[in-house]
Amino acid sequence: MRGDDGVEVLRVAGIERAGPGDLTFLASAKYAPHLAGTRASAVVVPPDVETPLPSLVSKNPYLFYARAAQVLHPPAHPAPGAHPTAQVHPSTSLGDDVHVGAFAVVGPRVRIGARTTIHPHVVLYEDVVIGEDCLLHSGVQIREGCRLGNRVVVQNGAVIGGDGFGFARADDGSYEKIPQVGIVVIEDDVEIGALTAVDRSSLHETRVGRGTKIDNLVQVGHSVTIGTHTVMAAQVGVAGSTHVGNNAMIGGQVGIAGHITVGDGVVATAQSGIPNSVENGEMISGYPAIENRKWLKASAVFPRLPEIARRLRQIEKKIEELLAKR
Amino acid sequence: MRGDDGVEVLRVAGIERAGPGDLTFLASAKYAPHLAGTRASAVVVPPDVETPLPSLVSKNPYLFYARAAQVLHPPAHPAPGAHPTAQVHPSTSLGDDVHVGAFAVVGPRVRIGARTTIHPHVVLYEDVVIGEDCLLHSGVQIREGCRLGNRVVVQNGAVIGGDGFGFARADDGSYEKIPQVGIVVIEDDVEIGALTAVDRSSLHETRVGRGTKIDNLVQVGHSVTIGTHTVMAAQVGVAGSTHVGNNAMIGGQVGIAGHITVGDGVVATAQSGIPNSVENGEMISGYPAIENRKWLKASAVFPRLPEIARRLRQIEKKIEELLAKR
Amino acid sequence: MRGDDGVEVLRVAGIERAGPGDLTFLASAKYAPHLAGTRASAVVVPPDVETPLPSLVSKNPYLFYARAAQVLHPPAHPAPGAHPTAQVHPSTSLGDDVHVGAFAVVGPRVRIGARTTIHPHVVLYEDVVIGEDCLLHSGVQIREGCRLGNRVVVQNGAVIGGDGFGFARADDGSYEKIPQVGIVVIEDDVEIGALTAVDRSSLHETRVGRGTKIDNLVQVGHSVTIGTHTVMAAQVGVAGSTHVGNNAMIGGQVGIAGHITVGDGVVATAQSGIPNSVENGEMISGYPAIENRKWLKASAVFPRLPEIARRLRQIEKKIEELLAKR
């Protein structure tokens, strides 16, 4: 802490719109010029930034800001208890201070851990298990037998445990449904985005590892396993039985084929199409995905393909002339 | 109006399936041969098309047809009032002739403008503001504090104001959630497609401009701003903090990176991947997106790459021979 | 049947995790080594696989397994009748043994065939027709007038019959909505994935043919028709008025342009972008999509583009030298 440590902050705001009572932050020294004009009451800064403003100094200002913002803007905690319109099966086990919102449906043998908030219009099929301190937003559907750890956040409209896409083809060309008898397991501290679908496994389990964050409209196929602390941006699709490792970063609209392994720490840039397994730590791009540096270079040449084809024809002509003149 | 102006039309129909009582239309003169066989009672035509049928002549037949169809097929207006099963918080302000459907949940301090229809199973969190003459279909979720203008249409299952995808990384590799304290503002005359997600801003607002039309399964990231009269086809993804201008046309499955500006009037063809800002009026394609004409030409050469590589080898060989013979 | 035909199996399991009471399967002889270690009570095998385990022999073990799994894991059939909280309009016609779950809304003049299960939180607008033995999971929305055949399965959160994306542009750049007055028809034995949107037609009908299987988060545009026994993986998008034939296989994230025909038996690999019509039986890939074999070969050369450009420059230089020396 530098400067006046008695200053009061009530909320967070961006550096340009902040006013009295606001805490803002500077992610790095390169944004320091913005500090001059801010009306914020206090600012989180990296150690190498000087400012007359009351400031909280952190080597990771963004992280510190995240924690301060969580204190200033805690998630709403509706009053404990089930709304009178909620349909909670008598066999359900509710922990202390659980809130169940209007019109929620909680099926037989469901267990919900302490302090979890179930918003209106959530449906939990039979035998679902939800940990402590979870937050399920309205419109979430969780299918039979799926299990969520502690502190899991599920945004509106997500579907966890829908049937995997499994069919066997008969000789007449028709498809016969393979019952999807497995479940989905979501570990602690995971966030699942709005309108994301995580399919139940055909046989055993689909698993999303601890601390992994998945954005909106993502498809996670049946029997997929995702490691810990991986992030997946919006509209990613992961086909069945694939494993994505720990600490991976998967960009928006990336597609990952089935039955492959994407290693730990892999970075796949937006819209990549990944047909084959990827080694730990690689950074990949393109469709089909290749090493990012190679892709950047090849993509830079791509628009010149017509010119390359034309020059090739000219060369061939000249060589024919040279050969003819012999 | 040409021909019998006493003809009665009751509904619209396509030119080939139309029968007595149907109004149909001809988008341009090139479809005129279809007129001979139609059994429609009347037709909207451009000025250069002659027909003995009773016809409405318009320089923009499709637009005229749209307006006629709106008259013949007005949206259903359920009886005013809240369904007895709806949970409407006592602090809610409802305009005249508002309909709230079965099992809808309307939170504290929500305001809904006159003549708006809220279908069953819509959830409006606290402090939501909805304008006049809006239509919210079943299964729509609107999160705390978000605001819709007048005449906004939201198709089924869309989520407005879900948390943006914002996390700060700690030294141990774990992610800390950044509270998303901003809102979403949807201006007048916008349409939002089914199962589309428009995320709330991390700090201030995500905004969709007047008259913009967004199709199904689209992702609009946090703090994105979209101008007026822009259209986005299905499954487009726009990453956080990007600005898309006015009158842009974004094709299906296009991906737009975060923190860039896509200018007014930009046309991005389907599946483009846009990594960098785009000037006003450009037409772009490809991944990474380049000028559409260049992309078309380069894409036409792409399948010939193996042949180009082979010819290159042949040339190199011939040159070696020429050099050797010296 | 080979071996002990008195063995009892209670459920299915994967070959590695199976234990006593489990039935497992071997899709082909190449997995035969796994048989040695399995603890399953019985196994479905192809004719060329020998095992001391009690085994069911089938030329199509996967199909046989699917049928056995359906017997061992029949879909839950909740008790017939409407839940007391369901809002079923008095004009609705319900077949024998129909189940309607909590908070479901069934609109005027809806007809539901015998033995169909409607899970909680399903909304059926007016005039919807559902066949016999259907299964609609929670959160499904079906709009006015749409029709489902028999044995149709709809996963959670899917939207059938949302408005197609149709607007006419006025001179001032604004868009006027074209009322979407058609419907959606889903034929017998179709499966629709979670959070998939099938738009109603602008004029007549959008149709999904018998036995076709559609995965999650797929967009089917207005007036699209899809043939029989076609499969579409997750996140596919089909733009308006396109026809996809019978027995086609469309990979994940494929985009198909509007107003084209994709023929019978077409295979489009994941992420393809299909701008033009495709002949029956073709296998295509890429963006824009071309013949799969050509695409594989050209894609293999693509990373070498920078090297090709460099070699081209070297050749040009050598030729200049050769010409100069004359």
DSSP B96-132: TT-EE-TT-EE-TT-EE-TT-EE-TT-EE-TT-EE-T
Indicate whether C38 and C95 sit together in one domain.
no
Burial B158-169 (b: 16+ CB within 10 A, else e): bbbbbbbbbbbb
Q: Per-residue b/e over A256-272, b at no fewer than 16 CB within 10 Å?
A: bbbebbbbbbbbbbbbb
Mean pLDDT on A103-111: 98
Spatial contact of A138 and A76, defined as CB atoms under 8 Å apart: no
Co-location of B94 and B47 in the same domain: no
B138 → closest Cβ in C141, C286, C291:
C141
Same domain assignment for residues C51 and C150: no
pLDDT score for A277: 98
Return the C-alpha torsion angle B288, B293, B295, B301, nearest 10: -170
Q: C144 burial class (0-12, 13-18, 19+ CB within 10 angstroms)?
A: middle
Closest CB to A315: pick one of C217, C252, C319: C319
Q: Name the residue among B234, A257, A277 with its Cα closest to residue C270.
A: A257
The residue behind tokens 């198709």 is: B155
The single-letter DSSP state of residue B41 is S
Tokens matching residue A293 = 């540096």
Q: Residue B304: name the closest of A316, C279, A306 by CA.
A: A306
- By Cβ distance, the residue of B139, B175, B178 closest to A229 is B175
Please give the pLDDT value at position A323: 87
Structure-block tokens of residue A192: 């699942």
Closest partner residue to C215 (CB to CB) among A165, A301, A311 is A165
Radius of gyration of chain C (CA): 26
Q: Which domain holds residue B97?
A: 81-294
The answer on C98 and C57 residing in a single domain is no
Are residues A27 and A132 both part of a single domain?
A: no
Q: Within this chain, do residues A44 and A167 fall inside the same structural domain, yes or no? A: no
pLDDT at residue B316, as a whole number: 95
A157 DSSP assignment: T
C92 burial via Cβ count (<10 Å: 0-12, 13-18, 19+): buried
Cα B119 from chain centre: 21
Angle at A50 between CA A49 and CA A54, to 5 degrees: 110
Burial class of A170 by CB neighbour count within 10 A (0 to 12, 13 to 18, 19+): middle
Contact B177 A70 (CB under 8 A): yes
Task: Work out the average pLDDT over B271-276.
Answer: 98
Buried-exposed string B210-230: b where 16+ CB fall within 10 A, e elsewhere: bbbbbbbbbbbbbbbbbbbbb
What are residue C267's DSSP bridge partners? C249, C283
pLDDT tens string B171-210: 999 999 999 999 999 999 999 999 999 999 999 999 999 9
What letter represents residue B208's amino acid? V
DSSP string, B237-273: EE-TT-EE-TT-EE-TT-EE-SS-EE-TT-EE-TT-E
Q: Phi, psi at residue A198, to the nearest 5°? A: -115, 110
SS3 category, B188: coil
Mean pLDDT for all residues in chain A: 96
Of C41, C72, C103, the position where a domain reaches its end is: C72
All residue ranges of chain C with pLDDT < 70 are none
- Set of chain C residues whose Cβ sits within 8 Å of the Cβ of A173: 211, 229, 246-247
**Is B312 a member of any domain?**
no
Domain boundary among B32, B49, B72: B72
Q: Which residues from chain B sit within 8 angstroms of residue A305, using beta carbons?
A: 297-298, 301-302, 305
Q: Are residues A125 and A242 in the same domain?
A: yes
Can you give the CATH number for the domain in which C103 is found? 2.160.10.10
From the CA of C130, how many Å to the nearest CA of chain A? 20
In this structure, chain C runs to a length of 326
Q: Which residues of A are catalytic?
A: 222
Look over chain B and give the mean of its residue pLDDT values, rounded to a whole number. Answer: 96
Give pLDDT tens digits for A233-251: 999 999 999 999 999 999 9
CA dist B183 and B207 (Å) reads 9
Q: Is the dihedral of CA C232, C235, C239, C241 positive or negative?
A: positive
**Inter-chain Cβ pairs, chain A and chain B, closer than 8 A:** 196
Q: Is residue C299 part of a domain?
A: no
pLDDT of residue C28: 86
pLDDT at B226 over 90: yes
Subunits with 3+ Cβ pairs within 8 Å of C are A, B
User: Which of A315-319, B49-53, C215-219 is predicted most confidently?
Assistant: C215-219
Give the number of other CB atoms < 10 A from CB of residue B138: 27
CA nearest to A121, candidates B85, B94, B78 = B85
Which chain C positions have a beta carbon within 8 Å of A123's beta carbon?
119-121, 138-139, 156
Q: Which chains touch B (3 or more CB pairs under 8 A)?
A: A, C
Query: Among A315-324, B89-98, B107-116, whose mean pLDDT is lowest?
Result: A315-324
What the block records as the tokens of A125 is 């099929």
Omega before residue A288 within 30° of 0, cis: yes
- pLDDT at A325 (0 to 100): 80
- Residue the block writes with tokens 């150690």: A47
State residue B323's pLDDT score. Answer: 87
- List chain C residues with CB under 8 Å of A159: 139, 155-157, 194-195, 216
- Structural domain contains residue C226: yes
How far apart are the CA of C193 and the nearest CA of chain A, in angstroms? Answer: 8
- Contact check, Cβ <8 Å, A237/C252: yes
Q: Are residues A220 and A251 in the same domain?
A: yes
Give burial (CB, 10 Å; 0-12/13-18/19+) of A206.
buried
For residue C69, the chain A residues in CB contact (below 8 A) are 178-179, 181
Query: Is A320 a member of any domain?
Result: no
Structure tokens at B117: 């229809």
Answer whether residue C321 is part of any domain.
no
Considering only CB atoms, which chain C residues are within 8 Å of B102?
87, 105
Q: How far is CA B64 from the centre of its chain?
A: 21
**How far off is chain C from A55, nearest CA to CA, in Å?**
46
What ipTM was assigned to the predicted interfaces of this complex? 0.97
Whole-structure pTM value: 0.97
Across the interface, whether the CB atoms of C177 and B66 are under 8 A apart is answered yes
The whole-number average pLDDT for the span A202-231 is 98
CA of C316 to nearest chain A CA: how many angstroms apart? 7
d(CA A35, CA A46): 13
Question: Residue B323's closest chain C neighbor by CA?
Answer: C322
3-class SS letters over B76-90: CCCCCEECCCCEECC
Residue C45 and residue C34 in contact, taking contact as beta carbons nearer than 8 Å: no
Measured between CA atoms, how close is A314 to chain B, in angstroms? Answer: 11
Quick check: B237 and A252 CB within 8 A?
yes
What's the confidence (pLDDT) of residue C82?
A: 97
The pLDDT-based confidence of B289 (bands split at 50, 70, 90) is very high
CA B258 to chain centre: 19
In Å, what is the CA distance from B61 to each residue of A104, B48, B49, C37, C222?
48, 11, 11, 71, 20
Instruction: Look up tokens 């200033």; give the residue.
Output: A72
Q: Is the peptide bond before B288 cis (omega within 30 degrees of 0)?
A: yes
- Is the residue at B254 inside a domain? yes
Mark whether A35 and A158 lie in a shared domain.
Answer: no
B326 pLDDT more than 80: no
Residue B283's CB: how many other CB atoms inside 10 A? 16
- B34 and B165 part of one domain: no
Tell me the H-state helices in chain A: 61-72, 292-301, 305-324
Rounded Cα gap, residues B118 and B101, in angstroms: 6
Judgement on whether residues A97 and A124 belong to the same structural domain of the protein: yes
Is C239 contained in some domain?
yes
* pLDDT value for C38: 94
Query: Nearest CB to C156: which of A162, A170, A286?
Result: A162
What is the greatest pairwise CA distance in chain C? 98
Among the ranges given (A44-58, A124-138, A156-170, C265-279), the one the predictor scored with the smallest mean pLDDT: A44-58
C247 with A177: Cβ contact below 8 A: no
Q: Are residues B44 and B105 in the same domain?
A: no
Q: Closest to B14 (Cβ–Cβ): which among C169, C173, C204?
A: C204
CA pair distance B19, B34, nearest whole angstrom:
14
Contact C296, C286 (CB under 8 A): no
Instruction: With beta carbons less than 8 A apart as the criterion, state whether A245 and A282 touch.
Output: no
Q: Hey, CA dihedral for B141, B157, B189, B238, is it positive or negative?
A: positive
Chain B interface, best mutation among A65, A133, A215, by max B CB count within 10 A: A215
CB within 8 Å: B168 and A62: yes
HEC string for chain C: CECCCCCCCCEECCCCCCCCCEEEECCCHHHHHHHHHCCCCEEEECCCCCCCCCEEECCCHHHHHHHHHHHHCCCCCCCCEECCCCEECCCCEECCCCEECCCCEECCCCEECCCCEECCCCEECCCCEECCCCEECCCCEECCCCEECCCCEECCCCEEEECCCCEEECCCCCEEECCCCCEEEECCCCEECCCCEEECCCCCEEEECCCCEECCCCEECCCCEECCCCEECCCCEECCCCEECCCCEECCCCEECCCCEECCCCEECCCCEECCCECCCCEEEECCEEEHHHHHHHHHHHHHHHHHHHHHHHHHHHHHHHHHHC
Provide the token pair at A267.
């970075």
Contact B109, B129 (CB under 8 A): no
Share of chain A above pLDDT 90, in %: 93
Structure tokens at B68: 């006629």
What would the mean pLDDT of A99-117 be, rounded to a whole number? 98
Closest Cα to residue C167, out of B190, B136, A295, A166?
A: B190
pLDDT at A326 over 80: no
Q: How far is B15 from chain C (nearest CA, A)?
A: 10
Is residue A159 a part of any domain in this protein? Answer: yes
Judge whether residue A112 has pLDDT over 80: yes
Work out how many domains chain C is built from and give that number: 2
CATH (domain of A18) = 3.40.1390.10
- Which carries the bigger pLDDT value, residue B309 or residue B325? B309
